[in-house]
Structure 1
Amino acid sequence: MHATVRKNAHSLLAEAYVYQYTKKSIGLRSLQLSIQPAMNMKHLLLRVTQGLLICAPTLLPANTPNILFIAVDDLKPTLSNYGDSITQTPNFDRLATHAVTFTNAHCQQAVCGPSRASVLTGLRPDQTKVWDLATRIRNELPDVITLPQHFKVNGYQTVGIGKIFDSRSVEGPILDDPESWSRFIQAPANPNEELGSLYPEIVAKVRAASSPATTHAEEMGLRRTIGGIPAYEGQYEVSDEAYLDGRIAKTAIDQLEELAAGESPFFLGVGFHKPHLPFIAPKQYWDLYQPSDFAPDPTRSMPDQAPGYHYQPGWELRNGNYADIPPLSSPEVIDDALATTLIHGYYACVSYIDAQLGKLLDTLKNSGAADNTIIVLWSDHGYHLGDHGIWCKHTNYEQATRSVLMIADLRGPKNASEYAHPVELLDIYPTLSQLAGINPPDDLAGSSLTPILNGSNTPIKTAAVSQFDRKFDGRKIMGYAWRSERYRYIEWIDRRFRKGDMSGPVVDVELYDYRIDPNETRNLAHEASHQEALYQMQQIAEAYKSAHGLQTSYAPKSQ
C-alpha cells in the first residue's frame, strides 16, 4: 500500500532538492528544481526547511494509481487491434481488451524530437519552439514542468528507461532530463553489438574506428565513416536481449518489480526504439512473415495537385547512413524487391516490440499492482512505407501524423472500445493528471480524454492539428494540418517562424477526403465538389489561428 505522505524530510535531506516557485516564462508551470551542491549540514537543513515550506508533501490517498507510460518509436497503426490483417501483435490485442484504442490520434509534428517535446510538455511545437532535432527544450523553456516532473513533484517515483524524450532535445542519452526523473536508467550494452548490429563486418569496422560514438551526431558520423550500416537485419537466431529493446524490456521488468513492491506510487516510462530504422530484430520475428505477405504500396506518386515541396524522398533512409540503400545523390530508386524487404523488416520489428510489451504486461500482472495502474501506450508519429513515393516521416500527410494511442485504466472493469473522433498526443498530459487526481498545469494545450475513458463517444475537438516546415522559394515556411473525422486540410504559411513572426500569407492549401479518397491521391481544395468542405475546414483553421495569434491572408499561388 502506498504511503500517504509522498515526500518526507528524510528524502529531501538525502537528495537536497529545493523547489522554488518563480514567475517566469509560463506562469504557474514555472516550478524550478535546483539541485544544490555539497553544503554544510546547518546550511543544508536551512535550505531543506525552506523547501518544505515552499513545497509541502502532498497528501493523497493510498490508492493513488501507478502509471505505466510506454512510448514506441516510429510506430504507425500496423497493429491487429487497429485492423491490420497481416501483422502479428497478440499483446497489443491483449492490451486492447482493457483499453480505449484511439483510432484517429495524431502527433503534433511528425519527427521524434518535436513530437516527444510536445507530448511531454503538453504544449504545441510553436510553444516549445522545438521544431527540429537540435533544439533543447529547456533552452527555450527553462522552467517548464514536464509530464514526469509533474508526477515527481507530486510524490511519485518517476523512473525512465529507453527513449522517452529524444536525447537531442534534453541533456543527452545518459542524463536525459534530470528534472523529470527520480532516476533515469540505461539498459546494459551487448558486448557483441555495435551501432545496433550484430553483423561481424559492421562490428569490426566500428571497433577499428579511432574513437567510439557517444552522441547521436557522432553515431551518424561513424555510420558514414564506415560506409553505412545495413538498413535491416534479421538473420540471427538470438534472444530478444541480444538487441537493445529486449534489454530495455528486461531492465523495465526489474524496475517494475521493485517499484510495485515499494510504498510510493510510480510513474514508469519505458521507451522502445523499434520499429525505427534500421529494421533489426531477431530472426524469429522475421520468420513470422513471408516475403509474399508484402508488396510495395500501390500509391507511388504524390497527390495530384499537391505542392511539390511537400514531397520528401526518404531523407532519413537515403542520407548515407545505410549501405544497401540508394543515396539521395544517386539516380537509383528503391526498387520493388528492396521496398518489400524494408516493409517486411518494419513488420518484424513491430512484432518484436509486441513481444516486449507482453513481458511488461505479464510482470505487471504478477506484481500485484495491475489493479491500481493506468497504462498509456503511444507512438511519437506514424511512418511512410513507400506510399506517395515517401519513406519515413517528416510530412503533414496521414501516414506520418496518425499515431498509436491506447489508454487502459486497470482500476475498473475491462473497457475495450474504439474512439474514432480526432484526438492529439498532447492530450495525454491532462488526461493522466486528471486520472491520478493531480491538478494539471493551467496552460496545457491539450484536452483531457477522461470522458472517453468513462464511456462517452462525444467529440472533444473538431480537429487534431499537426505541423511541419518546408523549403519554399529558398526559405522555410510552416505547414499546418487539421484532421477532422473525415477531412485533412493543410495550409502552407509563409512566415518567419524562427524569428517569431506570427503573420504571413497562405501560399498553398491542400484538402483530402478520406471517405472517397482514403489514400490521398488528389488534392481536392480547388474542386467545385468540395468548396463547402473547404470552407468548413478553413473555419476550423481560422479558429485555431485566432486562438494562437496567427494572422494570415489567403493567396495560394496555385489558384
Structure 2
Amino acid sequence: MEKRKPNIIFILSDQQRADTIKAWGYAHMSTPAMDSLVEGGMSFKNCFCPGATCTPSRAAIFTGMYAHNTGTYSFNQWGHQRTWVDDLADSGYWCINVGKMHFQPRDVSGGFHERVVVENPTSVGNWGGNGDDDWGKYLSFHGEERPNYRHQSDPEWLEKWQGVPWHLDEHLHSDAFTANAACGWLKARETDDEPFFMELGFPGPHEPWDAPQEFVDLYEGIELPEPVDFPSDLSNKPPQQAAIRAFHAGADHESRIDMPNAELDDVMRMRRHYYAKISYVDQQVQKVLDTLKETGHLENTIVIFSSDHGEMLGDHGSAYKWLMYDSITRVPLMIKDFRSLGESQESDDLVSLMDIGPTILEMAGGKIPTRLEGRSLTPYLKGAACKARTAVYCEDNYQVMRRTKDEKIVHYIGATYGEYYRLDEDPNEINNLWDDPEFVARRKELQLATLDWLATSSYANYGYKTESESDGEYGIRWHGNDAGIHGDNYKPKDEKMEL
C-alpha cells in the first residue's frame, strides 16, 4: 500500500521574537503549546527572517525569492506572484489559509483553494480587498467594529504603551477567531484521502498587545528581562534609527508609541503585555493541536511553527520592527513530525525562513523549483550531516543585512554609513564598528560578499524559472508573459546555485 502523504500545518505568528519560548530556556515565559512542539521536535535556534517587516518577509517566504527579485521591499503589491503554495496545490494537496497572510491585494488566492482572511486587528481600510476581512465581518455580525482610531479617541493612549487588555467577548478576539476557524475546518474535514496544507496565520503578538487580562496577570510579580542598550541615544547608529523612533511617536495611527520619552517602567509594562499576547496565541495553538488529535488528523501531520519577524520591545530604545537587529531578524522555528515522534533535537546552524518552502515541498514529495532560493531542512529532521550556511540575509526598504555566526553587516542603500558588529564580542549589537579604522578593511570585505550574493541571486532569479514540458529543464519566463516565452539561459532542473 502506498504510504499516505502527510498533512502539513505551518503556524506563523506575527512579530514574535526568538527569546519567547519557555522550553528554549526563557523561564519567564508561559508557552506550554509551543513547548510541546519543542518536545520531540526539531528546534532551529538560529533561524532568521528574510524581511524586517510583515509584508516583505511574507512575500519572500511564500514566493521563495528575496525582495530584490520580487520588488516587495515594503507594502508593495505581491499577490500576483507565484508562490510555492501553487506548486503544493499542483502536486495534489488541498491548501487552506486561515488567518493572516498579508497578500496585497488582500483577496487573491495565492495558490490556496480556501481562505479565511484575517488582517491586523487595527487595519484601517480594507488592505486592497473587497470590503472588510472575514474577522471584521464576524465582528459586525455581533454588532461590534474593528477597534480603530483609539489613539484619537483615548486621551490616555500614549500612556498605555500598546498594552490594552481585550475589551470584548473573548471569541471576538482576532487570534481566537483564527484558531476557532481552523478548528471548525478540521472538524468538518471527513477524510484524509487527500492530504492538506494549512497556513495558520495568527495576527498576534503584533501590536496592540491586547490579550485578555488573565494573560497579563501571568506576568505580574515575576522578573522579566530588561531591554538591552536602554536608554540609547543612538549616537553611533545610522540616522534612520532615530527617525523611525520619532515617526512612531507622532504617527496618526494606533501604532503611535512615544519611545523617545520612554522610561524603564514604561518599557517593562510594554513587555509584560507583549509576553501576555504570546501566551494568548499559545493557548490558541493548543486549541488547534487538541482539535487535530480529536479529529484523528494529528498522527499523520507535520507541524511547523515560526513567526514572520521579531520585535524590538525597547531594545536600543526602539519598538516594533523596520531595523536589522537580532531582536527583529531572529525568529523561533520548530518542526514536529507527529508520524514518528522521537527525542527532542536542536540545531544552532544558521537557517532562514526562505527554507520553509523547499522543506514543505520535499515533505510533500514534490519537486523544488529552482526559483526557490532556500534549501530543504529535512536532512536535519533525519539526523543527517548537513552543510551549514555561512550567512543569512534580510532585505527591507533601504537596508540589506548579511549575518554570519560571528559578524553582521547592514548596508544602507545610497549611504556612506551603515552598521558592522562583531557578534562574538558584542552579541547585543551595541558597538557599531562601521567607521572604526581597525575594521574598515574587514567591513569592506563583507560589503563585497554581500554584493556577490546580490549579483548571484539576481542572475539566478531574474524572473520565474519554470519547467519546460519539452526538455525537462528550467528556463526563464518573465511573469505576466502570457505567451510563456522562454529565455536562452537554462540550467538542469536538479542543479541549484549555492548562494
Cα distance 1:79–1:316, how it changes in 2: closer, same or farther (>3 A)? farther
Deviation of residue 462 (structure 1)?
1.1
Where 2:310 maps in the other structure, the secondary structure is coil
Q: Is the aligned partner of 1:482 residue 2:402?
A: yes
**Partner residue of 1:517 out of 426, 430, 438:** 426
CA distances 1:493-513 after superposition (whole Å, capped 9, x unpaired): 32xxxxxxxxxxx62342212
Distance 1:241 1:428 in 2: 31
Q: Is the aligned partner of 1:252 residue 2:182?
A: yes
State the structure with bigger RCO (CA 8 A, min sep 6), 1 or 2: 2
Letter in 2 for 1:96: V
Q: Is the aligned partner of 1:265 residue 2:195?
A: yes
Counterpart of 1:280 in structure 2 is 210
Where 1:392 maps in the other structure, the secondary structure is coil
Distance 2:386 2:47 in 1: 15
Counterpart of 2:317 in structure 1 is 389
Q: Is the aligned partner of 1:455 residue 2:455?
A: no
Deviation of residue 224 (structure 1)?
5.6
Where 2:365 maps in the other structure, the secondary structure is coil
Where 1:251 maps in the other structure, the secondary structure is helix
Q: How much identity, in percent, do the aligned residues show?
A: 28
Deviation of residue 526 (structure 1)?
4.2
Counterpart of 2:71 in structure 1 is 129
- Contact 2:249 / 2:256 at 8 angstroms: preserved in 1? no
Letter in 2 for 1:82: W
Counterpart of 1:548 in structure 2 is 457
Counterpart of 1:435 in structure 2 is 363
CA distances 1:65-96 after superposition (whole Å, capped 9, x unpaired): 11111110111111113322211111111101
Distance 2:249 2:45 in 1: 27
- Contact 2:45 / 2:332 at 8 angstroms: preserved in 1? yes
- Contact 2:98 / 2:116 at 8 angstroms: preserved in 1? yes
Any unmatched runs of 5+ in structure 2? 125-130, 137-144, 460-499
Letter in 1 for 2:69: Q
**Partner residue of 1:379 out of 296, 307, 329:** 307
Question: TM-score by structure 2 length?
Answer: 0.79
- Contact 2:402 / 2:409 at 8 angstroms: preserved in 1? yes
CA distances 1:14-47 after superposition (whole Å, capped 9, x unpaired): xxxxxxxxxxxxxxxxxxxxxxxxxxxxxxxxxx
Letter in 2 for 1:90: P
Structure 1 residue ranges (4+ consecutive) displaced by more than 3 angstroms after TM superposition: 194-197, 213-216, 218-230, 259-262, 302-305, 314-318, 322-326, 456-460, 525-540
**Partner residue of 2:163 out of 211, 214, 232:** 232
Cα distance 1:522–1:455, how it changes in 2: closer, same or farther (>3 A)? same
**Partner residue of 2:412 out of 482, 487, 492:** 492
- Comparing 223-232 with 74-83, which one deviates more in the overlay? 223-232
- Contact 1:303 / 1:522 at 8 angstroms: preserved in 2? no
Letter in 2 for 1:161: V
Cα distance 1:325–1:540, how it changes in 2: closer, same or farther (>3 A)? closer
Q: Mapping of 1:129-168 within 5 angstroms?
A: 129-133=71-75, 135-138=76-79, 142=80, 144-163=81-100, 165-166=101-102
**Partner residue of 2:252 out of 313, 320, 323:** 320
Deviation of residue 532 (structure 1)?
7.4
Deviation of residue 482 (structure 1)?
0.8
Cα distance 1:317–1:64, how it changes in 2: closer, same or farther (>3 A)? farther
Counterpart of 2:49 in structure 1 is 107
- Contact 1:314 / 1:390 at 8 angstroms: preserved in 2? no
Considering only aligned residues, what root-mean-square deviation do their CA atoms show, in Å?
3.3
Distance 2:421 2:395 in 1: 16
Question: TM-score by structure 1 length?
Answer: 0.71
Deviation of residue 320 (structure 1)?
3.3
Letter in 1 for 2:4: N
CA distances 1:332-374 after superposition (whole Å, capped 9, x unpaired): 7122332221111000001101111111122222322223211
Distance 2:344 2:442 in 1: 33
Where 2:58 maps in the other structure, the secondary structure is helix
Cα distance 1:333–1:290, how it changes in 2: closer, same or farther (>3 A)? same
Q: Is the aligned partner of 1:82 residue 2:24?
A: yes
Counterpart of 2:58 in structure 1 is 116
Any unmatched runs of 5+ in structure 1? 2-60, 198-205, 207-212, 470-477, 495-505, 551-559
CA distances 1:116-137 after superposition (whole Å, capped 9, x unpaired): 111111110111111112x211
Deviation of residue 439 (structure 1)?
0.6
